[in-house]
Amino acid sequence: MAKNRLDVSYDFEFDLIAINSNVKEYKLAWAINKNTGLELAKEENISIDFSGGKSLAISNYFYKTEYQVFRLLKNKAENLEEKFNAFLIPELKHFDYFLMVADDSMTFQVNPFISTIKEIPFVQFAVSVDTSALKSKDNLIF
């Protein structure tokens, strides 16, 4: 019997900013809101199911304007009681958080925004990530 394979490709039309910070996600979201004027608010955790019955719960803060969507995601899973130490983006496990920015207005400038995030005292590092080079970029599709 012949096998058919379905290949699906997605457009990753967003900027991804990787952030290192040793604080809880609610404190980071508050500081980003204070420094950038955003209004990130806690949303329900994002659940990603894997084969073998494993799942990943990712902390999620969200803010949406008419033309922009901001999403602060914790890289490490929330459900660590299952001894499943998974990451949202395993190849970037040395980063604590990711900030996804989708901009339909084409007015968002990522470098000045990263500079503003770097001014937060407890942010050690922030950098833009090329999503096309990520192996697990499909984990960023919600």
| pLDDT recorded at residue 126 | 94
Q: Look at residue 140 and tell me if it is in a domain.
A: no
Q: In terms of Cα–Cα distance, which of 10, 6, 136 is closest to 73?
A: 136
Secondary structure of residue 100 in the 3-state scheme? strand
Q: Look at residue 136 and tell me if it is in a domain.
A: no
Q: How many separate domains does the chain show?
A: 1
Q: Look at residue 97 and tell me if it is in a domain.
A: yes
Q: By the 8 A CB rule, do 99 and 62 touch?
A: no
| pLDDT recorded at residue 89 | 85
DSSP string, 73-97: EESB-S-GGGS---BSSGGGTT--E
| pLDDT recorded at residue 63 | 93
pTM, entire model: 0.81
| pLDDT recorded at residue 82 | 52
Q: Which residues of the chain have pLDDT under 50?
A: 81
- What's the domain range around 64? 15-130
| pLDDT recorded at residue 80 | 54
